[in-house]
Every structure is written in C-alpha cells, then in structure tokens.
Amino acid sequence: MKRLALVALVLAFAGCHQSHQSEPATLTFARGADSQKLDPADVDDGESIKVLVNISQGLVRFRHGTTEPEPCLATSWTISTDGLIYTFKLREGVRFHDGTPLDAQAAAFSFLRQMDKSNPAHLPGAVFAYWSAMFNMITAVEVVDPMTLRLQLREPNAPLLASLCIPAAHLISPKFIDQQHPVGTGPFRFVEWVPNERIVLQANPDYWEGKPKIQRLVFKVVPDSATRLIQLQTGQIQAMDGIDPNDLPIIKLDKALQLLTAPGLNVCYLSFNCQKPPLDNKVLRRAIAAAINKKDIIDDVYRGAAIVARNPLPPFVAGHNDAIPEQLYETTKPWPALKTPLRLEVMTNPRPYLPNPLRAAEMIKSDLAKIQVPVEIVPNEWGAHLSRTSHGDHEMALMGWVGDNGDADNFLYVLLDKDTATLGSALNICFWMNDPYHDLMVAARRELDPKKRAALYRKSQEIIFDEAPMVPLAHAESLMACRANTDGILFEVNGDILFYKATVK
C-alpha cells in the first residue's frame, strides 16, 4: 500500500510539474480604459489602436524607433515622378489569421471597403474618419497582377507613404465579420473581448516573421493608475501605461520594475467649440488662452514629464514654428462677467498626453476665475467624451492627440482643417472653419519639397495663433512601466506598444 501511495504521489507530482511546464507564457498589460472597437479602418482612439497594432499590419510600417516607413506586407514599392501612382509588390506566403492567402485582391479589399459606400463591408455604423482625413486623395485601387497592388491619386500627397503605416491602412481578411472580431496578418490573433475587463490575444504560429515568444497577450482594463501600479509591483500584471507622474520616483527606485520612455509625439490641448457663442468670439478665446498658466500645469499635473506646447505640432516635427510664444497672449483686462458658466468637458480616464485630466481641468477653472470667466467641469467616461466632442455637443473640452505618422499634416490638418469637422466623426472638435488655413493645408499636402512644405506649415501656425481655436497645453513624454523580468517590448515614437519580440522570464 505504501508503495502504491508513493507511486501515486510521484505521478501526481510529475503531472503537476508537466502542467506547470505546459502553461502558456502570458503577458498582461494594464491600461486605463477599454477599446472602442476593433476595426482598424474605423478607430480613432488610442486604446483601440493599442490592441490592433499587434493584430493587423499594413503594406508598410515604421522602422523601430522612427517614423520612417519600411517594408511590411509589401516588400517594395515605386512612386511615379508626378507623385500620382504608388505600386506595391506584396510579400509571398503570408496568410490572414483565418487562413486566407494575402494577394493583391485581398489587399485591395481593405481600401475598397472604405472608399466605396456600396461595398458590403462599408458598415452602416462606421465613419472611417481617417479615410476622409488622410486618404481621400486616393481615386482608384487596382490589382495589377496577383501580387501587385496599385494606388492612383487625384493629386500628390507628400505624407501618404507614412500614412499607410497607420491602422486605418492595415489589411484585414476579405472574410471580415464585424468590428469586434479583427482578422489580420499580425503576430497575435484575436481570441476574446470581455467589455471593460479584458481583450485576449494568442500568438500566431504562422506569423511571417516567426511565432512570438509569448503565447498569450492580455489587455486588461484597470481604470485607477494607483491600482495598476500595485498590480505591477505584485506581479499580477507585467506592464502598464497611464502612469501617474507622482509615481515615477516609486517606479525608478523599485528594482523589480523598469521604466520605458519615448519622445512625446503628442499634444494636449483645450478645445473651443468655435460654432457656439460666446466662444465664436476670438477675443474671448484669446483672453482664456492668456489666462491659463501652462507652466503650472506642467509642474503639477505632469510633474515635469512634459514640455509646454507653443503649437499643436511637437517641436521635433518638421514645420514647427519656434517663433510662436509659449504663453500665447499678453494678459489683458478681465472679460465682462459671463451670465452662465462655460462648460468644460473632461475625460475621467488618464490619457498618454494627460495623466490626470480632472486635476488639469480644476487648474484651468481656477485660472479662468481670475478673469471672471466661470467654468463648470463636466466629467465624462472616455467613450462618452469622444462621442460628445465628435458630435460638437461641448463648449470647451480637454483633448489630445498622439501622432500617427510623424508628419505635420497629421496634426495640423487632422486637428484643425474644415475637412475634418464633420459632425459625428469630427477630429477637428474645435469646429473651426478657416479658408486661408485650409488653402495652406492643401498646398502643403501637394508640395513634395520638404523645405517648402515646412514653410507652409509655419505660416499656418501663425493663423492658429491669431485665431486661437484651441489652447495647446503640453507635449507629454511617453511613459510605460514593466516588470524587470520582461524584455523585448517595443515602445514606439508614435506611442504604439508592440509585443511580438517580448519575453517573460
């Protein structure tokens, strides 16, 4: 009996040991809010993009640590001398997660479904905001041969190649089902989505660059930054973003953790709805801009992990106008007291460009009280905040933008051109319509000479300074933290976090 018991014990131990050995390597990443949807063509929020860049890919992608395009699902490309024809040679042997082979016909699907409203995959509820903002010059998508795709343009578009790196230009399977079940070619496959709790991905064993070293990748929603940090310290999660700057000393002193940083290709700003009185008056907008102490916000909200924004454009992006002052206007006499407070809408979730939105709103309210402009703070959950601002339901709103392609067009055109101010899908939530500014945006898109383009963008920032449709506040340093036993996470300049080279020891 003792012998049998001993054998049973040994077998049980071996079974436990074998089970432990076969457990999939899982990396859990915690973030402050959930994704909105998982259709790369129809997302404009960072939490959705954060997941999708690990599932789907485009013809080209950014070389690690830069915003320079390099081959991805296309191995090479040519651009006609007039800048109107882009021809791509596709990578052989790639399959979508559902087994569909990548060829030119399949690649064309992802573009055609956006540009053709009669396409069955042009879903009724989709807005395709990026297509109208960044790809509306594409007039035709042609299958040249089984592995060659051609894009024809109405006019030259200098940032197009860089724009093709972003999720809106990612390729998804022609067997696309809906916006909750993405099917790409990337290193991870979609498994499940439990709203406001987690999104689970699994390693793609057929990934063309080789199977990832982690088996499961979990995006976990943990709204409170302090709770996220505790979970990181205790090993419940392996990585997180949305770091409270007040916690930076804790992370730096903890040998079990490591801090990852990237330059801030972003802007946080106060948006004025220029269509709503009294904010249709630029004198009031300028008075508000003059009253806001940006330096205090940098010191208090960001704890110094940001720089004051002169313009919507980060200072290291070509075309930034250094002549615009940090504090936009000289303070003038107090504005005549308003009968009703201005409503300042603010997201409750931390964002990469704004770690403590409610604190920033309180500081702005305090500053405006000094010029007799009363403010009512209206907190919104992130999804509701996006919906209200894109529909123009706000008067003032705190908002931000993380650059997609490292080009000035991606900030100045996307955030402030009249083309992107369509109610319901607006990225220009200032709803500022300025024809001279629009003409500069169009001219800069068509200009292929980098120096001439930069000059056009500098001139456009002078108009922004004069009209004050927004108050640029800060360019935040991109921050994330992970356990010291993790390695290989790629933290990109545009804020993308890629896990296909990640390991967990």
Query: End of a domain among 116, 137, 169?
Result: 169
Residue 494: predicted pLDDT: 86
Q: Are residues 234 and 196 in the same domain?
A: yes
pLDDT band at 334 (very low <50, low <70, confident <90, very high): low
492 lies in a domain?
yes
pLDDT band at 9 (very low <50, low <70, confident <90, very high): very low
Q: Indicate the number of domains in the chain.
A: 3
Angle (CA) 162 48 163, round 5°? 10
Q: Are residues 218 and 338 in the same domain?
A: no
Query: End of a domain among 169, 204, 235?
Result: 169
What count of other Cβ atoms lies within 10 Å of the Cβ of residue 366? 14
Q: Are residues 127 and 276 in the same domain?
A: no
Residue 404: predicted pLDDT: 85
483 lies in a domain?
yes
The pTM of this model reads: 0.77
Q: Are residues 65 and 202 in the same domain?
A: no
127 lies in a domain?
yes
Q: Are residues 293 and 422 in the same domain?
A: yes
Q: Are residues 285 and 383 in the same domain?
A: yes
The residue with greater pLDDT, 413 or 1, is 413
Q: Are residues 423 and 445 in the same domain?
A: yes
CATH number at residue 164: 3.90.76.10
DSSP 99-124: SPBP-HHHHHHHHHHHH-TTSTTS-T
In this structure, are residues 215 and 26 in contact, taking their beta carbons and an 8 Å threshold?
A: yes
The pLDDT of 388-414, averaged and rounded, is 95
pLDDT per position as a tens digit, 194-212: 999 999 999 999 999 999 9
255 lies in a domain?
yes
In this structure, are residues 338 and 396 in contact, taking their beta carbons and an 8 Å threshold?
A: no
Query: End of a domain among 117, 135, 169?
Result: 169
Cβ neighbours of residue 200 under 8 Å, at least 6 residues apart?
A: 191, 192, 193, 216, 217, 218, 219
CATH number at residue 295: 3.10.105.10
The residue with greater pLDDT, 254 or 330, is 254
Q: Read off the DSSP letter of residue 166.
A: S
**Tally of residues, the chain:** 505
Q: Where are the alpha helices (DSSP H) in 54-212?
A: 104-115, 129-134, 160-163
Phi, psi dihedral angles at 178 (to 5 degrees): -155, 180
Q: Are residues 293 and 337 in the same domain?
A: yes
* Token pair in block for residue 265: 């290709």
d(CA 257, CA 228): 13
Q: Are residues 215 and 157 in the same domain?
A: no
Q: What percent of the chain has pLDDT over 70?
A: 94
Domain, as residue range, for 74: 56-169
Residue 418: predicted pLDDT: 96
d(CA 470, CA 399): 10
Q: Are residues 463 and 486 in the same domain?
A: no
Q: Are residues 136 and 256 in the same domain?
A: no
Residue 218 pairs with which residues in a beta bridge?
A: 28, 200
Smallest Cα–Cα separation from 359: which of 213, 225, 210? 225
218 lies in a domain?
yes
40 lies in a domain?
no
pLDDT per position as a tens digit, 69-123: 999 999 999 999 999 999 999 999 999 999 999 999 999 999 999 998 888 888 8
Q: Are residues 317 and 229 in the same domain?
A: no
